[in-house]
């Protein structure tokens, strides 16, 4: 099970969701799923093309979480059991423009 490590930008991003309880619940569900099984199909895991070490998962139709696996296997693939650095939590288009 990976350890989720939030960055300062990630914490700043989620502070903006203080008053949106439905979105906070979806965020908590996505983070729980990421922690228990990063490859769960419901997360819609995607590689971020303009940042080769960043990946993203879906919170809902509008928001996504960008993150970076901290450990890699000898094959070059991410070690999904290792630590995960949470980079940003933004609107889909904004996240893909600037995932860090």
Total count of domains within the chain: 1
pTM value surpassing 0.85:
yes
Other beta carbons within 10 Å of 45: 16
Once rounded to an integer, what is the mean pLDDT over residues 51-73? Answer: 95
Query: Which whole number is the average pLDDT over 61-89?
Result: 95
Q: Which positions ≥6 away from 25 have C-beta within 8 Å?
A: none
Q: What is the CATH number of the domain that holds 53?
A: 3.30.2310.20
Question: The domain containing residue 79 runs over which residues?
Answer: 4-97
Average pLDDT, rounded, for the chain: 94
- Per-residue pLDDT tens digits for 13-56: 999 998 999 999 999 999 999 999 999 999 999 999 989 899 99
Candidates 72, 81, 5; CA nearest to 38 is: 81
Map tokens 């960043």 to a residue: 54
């Amino acid at each position: 099970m990976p350890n989720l490590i939030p960055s300062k930008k990630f914490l700043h991003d989620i502070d903006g969701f203080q008053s949106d309880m439905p979105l906070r619940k979806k965020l908590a569900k996505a983070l729980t799923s990421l922690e228990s099984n990063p490859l769960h199909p419901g997360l819609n895991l995607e590689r971020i093309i303009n940042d080769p070490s960043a990946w993203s998962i879906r919170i809902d139709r509008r928001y996504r979480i960008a993150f970076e696996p901290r450990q890699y296997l000898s094959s070059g693939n991410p070690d999904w059991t290792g630590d995960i650095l949470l980079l940003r939590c933004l609107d889909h288009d904004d996240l893909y423009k600037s995932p860090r």
